[in-house]
Amino acid sequence: MDEYINTKMTANPLIVLREEFDDWAILFNPDTGDTYALNPLGVFIWKRLDGTQTVSEITEAIRTSAENVPDEVGKEVEDFLRDIVRLGLASGEKPSS
Amino acid sequence: MTLPLMKTPRSVDIEITNGCNLRCTYCSHFTSPGDVGKDLPLDEWRRFFAELKRAAVMNVTLSGGEPFYRKDLRDIIASIVENRMRFSILTNGTLIDPEIASFLAATGRCDSVQVSIDGATQATHDSFRGKGNFVRALNGIRTLQQFDVPVAVRVTIHRKNVHELDQIAHLLLEEMGLSSFSTNAASYMGLSRINVAETQLTVAERSLAMETLVRLAEEYPNRISATAGPLAEATTWAEMKEASREGRPPTQGGGFLTGCGGPFQNIAVRADGAYVPCSQLGQMVLGRINQDDLCDIWQNHKVLWEFRNRRLIPLSSFDFCKGCPYINYCTGNCPALAYNLTGEVNHPSPDACLRLFEQQGGRLPPAERLRDL
């Protein structure tokens, strides 16, 4: 787990972030036509998947950007990132040992 | 009251060319306001597709005229793909050859190519589309199938094919092996306005089409669909009759001009690059591509908002609807058809009026047959 929080995440450049109502959005894969709904927290995270920020840094950014962030936000961020990596929407570069 | 709106349109309908190799008797394009007489060059479309990418538009639908009539269609599609979008094409099917079908398949981005087939025989199809075009269109479908390009078929019902619907279903679903097809009817638009007597169903023929299509939909479950025309009317109107008889509360959107959700999802562009709310409302020019900002037009254009806000207009405000027992379940249907028939966009479409249909002697299939469709 400690290794994962130091992983730098990159969004798949083919995937389209489509912001629709309020702060909600969908991710669109034009090669498959698949779409995935993103809540405002997912959008916040997605916009930081530029290959320079680690999972830990993204989690910290959430803590400093919002009020009343629950303690378990770190796990939620990790679960979200694992999901989008599994779906091919993003990839992670593990730190060199 | 402000209606919620997405930041940009999800999809864009583009009349990519004004040209066509055919002149079908009921074509909605020719003699319509979309019949603009000139096409934009490729570079203009490339610039526009780059803007659509920035706006995160997901899909474009190419129509015309006839899209395959454009010699540079491959370059146009390549630019759509390059800008991270998918596409669909509406076509008469007669210009599809293995080379273009192979190209479409290779893009991996084609949602569907919709080919129009209006008869089970050459005589019927060609009566409105011109000699030899039945065979060409069927060959076009077979070529698309050969290359695994998703094919959709649309059957436009008119006076010459309304007695041939069984044979058309057999041809498409049995002989051609299509998974499904959709139907509509020749509407009072474009050339069909000039050729009303030939093209548009009488009330008796409309009733026959409903009865036949409902039976065919039972015989071929989930394989015949419609968002307009006799099959859609049969199901919608039967629900309205039942709701009225039982005195149910108004349906969602019922009693207001809510029949068209298009302007909340899509925008359209004419072949000359003019933005319009819908391809069938080519007279409502909102601006020009590559001159006017898409997002600004989408979010702020006064005419587009007026068009969206027609949803707030109650049907009870129209003399046309006074005393109608179905008013609480009616949505006024297509604004383009309303415009062509009455001269007003903000009016219910008389063509979609159940009360009028019944007053003219129209018959609906029994409601119990429609519940499972």
Q: Interface pTM (ipTM) of the complex?
A: 0.90
CA dist., res. B1 & res. B3, Å (int)? 7
Tokens of B264: 């909340």
User: Closest Cα partner for B211 from B194, B197, B230?
Assistant: B230
More confident residue, A3 or B48: B48
| pTM of the predicted structure, to 2 decimals | 0.94
Locate the chain B residue with the closest alpha carbon to A13: B84
Q: Are the beta carbons of A16 and B84 separated by less than 8 Å?
A: yes
Bridge pairing between strands A25-28 and B151-157: unpaired
Residue range B227-268, pLDDT digits in tens? 999 999 999 999 999 999 999 999 999 999 999 999 999 999
Name the amino acid, one letter, at A41.
Answer: L
A1 domain residue, yes or no: no
Coil, helix or strand at residue A42: helix
* Gap between the Cα atoms of B48 and B51, Å rounded: 5
* Arithmetic mean of pLDDT, A77-92: 94
What whole-number distance in Å separates Cα of residue B97 and Cα of residue B73?
A: 13
Chain B closest CA to A97's CA: distance in Å? Answer: 37
A21 interaction partners in chain B (CB closer than 8 Å): 4, 6
Pick from B6, B85, B111: CB nearest A21: B6
By C-alpha distance, which of B90, B88, B113 is closest to B101? B113
Nearest to B282 by CA among B189, B211, B349: B189
Query: Is A95 among the domain residues?
Result: no
Interface of B with A (CB under 8 A): 4, 6-8, 10, 56, 58, 81, 84-86, 108-109, 111
**Which one of A28, A43, A46 makes the best mutation probe of the B interface by having the most chain B beta carbons within 10 Å?**
A28
Q: For residue B86, list chain A residues with Cβ-Cβ distance below 8 A.
A: 30, 33
Please tell me the number of Cα atoms within 13 Å of B7 on its side-chain side: 15
Whether A61 is covered by a domain: the verdict is yes
DSSP annotation of B10: S
DSSP label of B188: S
Gap between the Cα atoms of B191 and B199, Å rounded: 10
CB A34 within 8 A of CB A96: no
| Contact yes or no for B58 and A28 at CB 8 A | yes
Q: Which of residues 37-96 of A touch B (CB under 8 A)?
A: none
| Mean pLDDT of chain A, nearest integer | 91
Using CB atoms, pick whichever of B4, B56, B109 lies closest to residue A18. Answer: B56
pLDDT for B2 equals 66
Q: Looking at the domain assignment, is residue A93 inside a domain? A: no
Residue A74 lies in a domain: yes
Q: Quick check: is A27 in a domain?
A: yes
Residue ranges for chain B with pLDDT beneath 50? none
**CATH code at position A68:** 3.90.930.60
Instruction: Classify residue A16: in a domain, yes or no.
Output: yes
CA distances (Å), origin B41, targets B37, B45, B111, B268, B273? 13, 7, 25, 17, 10
Residue B296's CB is within 10 A of a number of other CB atoms, namely: 10
* Residue of B53, B58, B83, B298 best to disrupt the A interface, most CBs of A under 10 A: B58
pLDDT at residue A2 in the model:
60
Residue A48 domain-assigned (yes or no): yes
| Total domains present in chain A | 1
Q: List beta partners, residue B184.
A: B156
Give the residue numbers spanning the domain of A75: 8-88
Write out the two tokens for A23.
């702060």
From A26, which residue of chain B is nearest by alpha-carbon distance?
Answer: B56
A1 pLDDT above the threshold of 60 = no
- The whole-angstrom distance between B88's CA and the closest CA on chain A is 12
